[in-house]
Amino acid sequence: MVILLYGEDTFRSREKLSKMKQKFSRERDQQDMNLAKLDAEKTEPGKIEEQIFASPFLSEKRMVIVENLIASDHEDLKERLLKKIKDDQIPDCTNLIIWEGEVDPNKKVNKKLLNKLKQKKFSDKFEKFEGQKLRAWVDNKIEDLGGEIDSQALNYLVRHVGNDMWRLNNLAHQLVSFTNENIIQKEDVDLFIKEDVDNDIFNLIDAIVEKKPKQVYNMIQEQYREGNDAHYLYAMILRQFRIMYKIKDAIEREKNPAGKNFASKMNLHPYVLKKTKPVAKKYSLQQLKRIYHRLSEIDEKIKTSSQDETLLLDVFVGKLCKA
C-alpha cells in the first residue's frame, strides 16, 4: 500500500501522520520493530530503498514513512520508485507513506511522481482552511481539548491569527489550560495575541516560578515562534528548578548562607545566584523536590513515548502557575 500525504497545511498532515503511526503501533507493532521513518533530504537513497523493500520482523506488516522524497535531490531514486509504483512492485507487506509539504512541480520527475501518487486510492491533500472551515476547525480543536469558546472570541482569534494552524493549535492548548474549564472569552484571547511578549527564556522561567500565567503563556508562544520546541523549554525549566533546589537545600542546611564564597560553592555564576535565590525562598524544599521529580518524569515521557510534548508542557505549567 502506498499513501501520499501532502499540501501546504503541514500541521494537519503531520497530525494525520501521527495518528496513522499510533494506530499501526497500537494494532500491529507495539515494540516499533517494523516502523521506519526517514527524511529523504538527510538519508542516502540506498538506505531508503533498503527500508522500503525489507521484510517485516515477526509481523505481517511494516510501516515505512519517507518524508520530503519529492523535495529531495535524489532524482535517480525518484525515477526508480516511480517505476516500482507504476509496476505495483512495492511489497504488499509494506505500508509506504510519503509525506510532503509544499511540492515544487517544476522538475519533470517531481511532476510525474506526484501525479502517479495522486492517482493512488490513499492520497490526501491538505490545503489551508479559510473562513467557516477554519473557524469550525478551531472550535472543534478546543472542544476536543475539553474547552469551549465564545463565538465572538472565536471570530476574534481567527481574524487575528489567520490560518497558521501551528500557532492556532498552540493557542488552543494554552487557552484551554488557562481558562480551566470556563468558556474562553475575547478578553482571554486578547491576553495571548496582543500583549507584548518577552522572548527571553530566563524571563519565561522566572514568570513560571513566580506564578504569572498571563505572561507565561505569551512567552511560551513567543518561544515557539522563535523556533524553540517544547523539549527545549522543558530542559531549561528543569535546569532552573534543579538550581533552585540546590540553593534551597543549602539555605536550610547552612542557615541562610551568604558571602562571596556561596556562589562558588554552588558552582553558580553570582548573577544566577542573585536572581534565583529570592524565588527559591518562595518554595519549601519538599515543594521544589516534588516539582523537580515531576519535571523529570515528563522529560522521560517526552524522550520515550509518543505523547504530545506541547500539551504536557501546557498542562504542567498551567497547574504550576495556579498551585
Domain boundaries, the chain: 2-125, 230-322
Helix (H) and strand (E) counts for the chain? 15, 5
What is each CA distance from 48 to 17, 43, 93, 101, in whole angstroms?
18, 7, 16, 19
Of 37, 64, 52, the C-alpha closest to 90 is 52
Asked if residues 183 and 215 have their Cβ atoms less than 8 Å apart, the reply is no
Q: What is the CATH number of domain 230-322?
A: 1.20.272.10
Note the pLDDT of residue 269. 67
| pLDDT of 226 | 62
- Where would I find the beta strands (DSSP E) of the chain? 2-6, 35-39, 62-67, 94-99, 122-125
Q: Are 126 and 8 in contact (CB under 8 A)?
A: yes
Tens of pLDDT, residue by residue over 221-263, are 877 776 677 877 887 788 888 888 888 888 888 765 665 577 7
Long-range contacts of 257-260 (CB under 8 A, 24+ apart): none
Identify the CATH number of the domain defined by range 2-125.
Answer: 3.40.50.300
Residue 119 confidence (pLDDT): 82
pLDDT digits (tens, 9 = 90+) for 33-66: 888 999 998 999 999 999 999 998 888 899 999 9
What pLDDT band is residue 144 in, cutting at 50, 70 and 90?
Answer: very high
